Structure 1
């Protein structure tokens, strides 16, 4: 059976990495084609390297602008209108693209692509949506209700990343499934801690805290910096992946203030924090990295202090390296992070609480190691790639055998 996967981004990121995992799960049983923007070229290059057919998206993608980071924000009517107009304008053209692909199953890799549901149906294929977003109960707004209605009406299956997200959608049981995010065994390879630290040219005697979310307000990089500046123990250091030296010299212009004043202020705030005396000497900016094996291997703990609810890959990536996770306390985290067992939960945007948690872990290394060991055990028992692969292959087979 031919399966077409549609993805809305082509840069290095959690969604693109998860897409590659889905491709790896399906290609043993099915012919797989990926359709996504051609630029930047990271995703297309990775697919070419793995021998997977890539079809560049030459038409604009109809985006439903309601996803992680926007659920609690005021509605951006111009973005919602743009997505709807794109759908209306390019609907017929996308129907032809899907028909020409010859795919019997079409998977969209985000709820932001839910507008493809009726397009895929009209093309005579069967649609599946991977809902990689999570929405807190307080955000069951008109936008969220519309999203769930579209999923229930137009998709053969909606695949969620947690039981909590599946239950929140309240879709018919026959239309909803849960597949936990996971990693291929060869995706990341653990190295010795001393070897990894030498490879990164960082001191071996510090307590290294890993942040992997890039320079993102949603993922809480500013909270991480403020926490590092507040820690009492001088041996605590921060490794920041996805953040380069340009974060210290942001080019914020008037148009940035007009377009997104919160983000403009955030970028200036981060630059000021990076230059501050309490932070500057305690942070190493690693920039974007294709392979996260070395940063994880070099670290003692992983943090993900997101400001809004987010399905975070670092939770289980940390587990695969035997590291504890310190993450913001949202309902989406409670299913996988158990305080005092495999990690710690902190209130969102609470730098003092994050600093206190890091001080405690750095001063109690055996306790920190025990949390990491339990996180590894939970990761290995709940997120086996072979198990998730079998479930996905069965799901696609079932959808393919269903009637129109």
Structure 2
């Protein structure tokens, strides 16, 4: 069970972040073994806005990766795609890859790829390409990728090309490493969105709506916000001091690129439904238990976890499953081995913990200032787990 007294501590600490102006408001959810606590604190904008509520809509950015992984496993279970099959038939733009001799090599200093890219490579982010923690001109391949506008920084799907043109641009670049060699963040989920669209002959938005969101009754999740719901969209902020991220109206229509890595909006209520599905805790189930266990297993080798291009401690006590991080050992009180999930850099986080039968969700709309989780998120995790009372 969860301690009522200790849950009050969670509210008190999170209220402090709102009162100090770290975020204008937030929605937090902690659920364990049928007991659920939702806290709504503050407002949807620094200049007032509406009071936060459980149905406030947020840009969940990289939490989209979790949904993309689940959608991929739906098609794997139906044998429409296979984990270890090459993606070449559906994504010919990525066939016959060339690979840089080193990350800093010129674009034509390449060798042939040892093998084709597979669906598993994309799910585990080991397919050989992704975002780097480096200035845009640090490496020739990074500069070229930034110039092509394929999404090498913050999620901006409204500024990107449609999926076919996007994949054509991506396919014009060499890989940063051999398939299966290293973990590279982000781009694999965007490629999966295109793969699933082509495998089904549907737009990625229609596929998710029909196969994931409608069955789970995630009515506020998608790539755009209906006009009548825009009033519930929390205002987004960058930087320090915080400045507006975009306009609400930008989210009124779907973007040209339906980003499987960072394009969704959603609510705490909707991602709670997604979490119950992942824990097989509700009556709406999309995937078999073996499929879910496969998603939430650590698929990285020690060599793949060596990240010269990313935060060195990213996998200090964890690994990577399909589309999300997996805790591998106890490092803090919130690190139950097997805990699975991921965060959105615009201020959101989602985790499921099979051992504790626990779901934790924090939604804000103040973007992270670094790749490391901000204090509000680290405190939220601590506060959620210190509330366990059994």
Tell me whether the two structures share a fold, i.e. TM-score over 0.5. Answer: no
Bigger helix fraction: 1
Higher relative contact order (CA 8 A, sep 6+): 2
Task: With the length of structure 2 as denominator, give the TM-score of the two structures.
Answer: 0.31
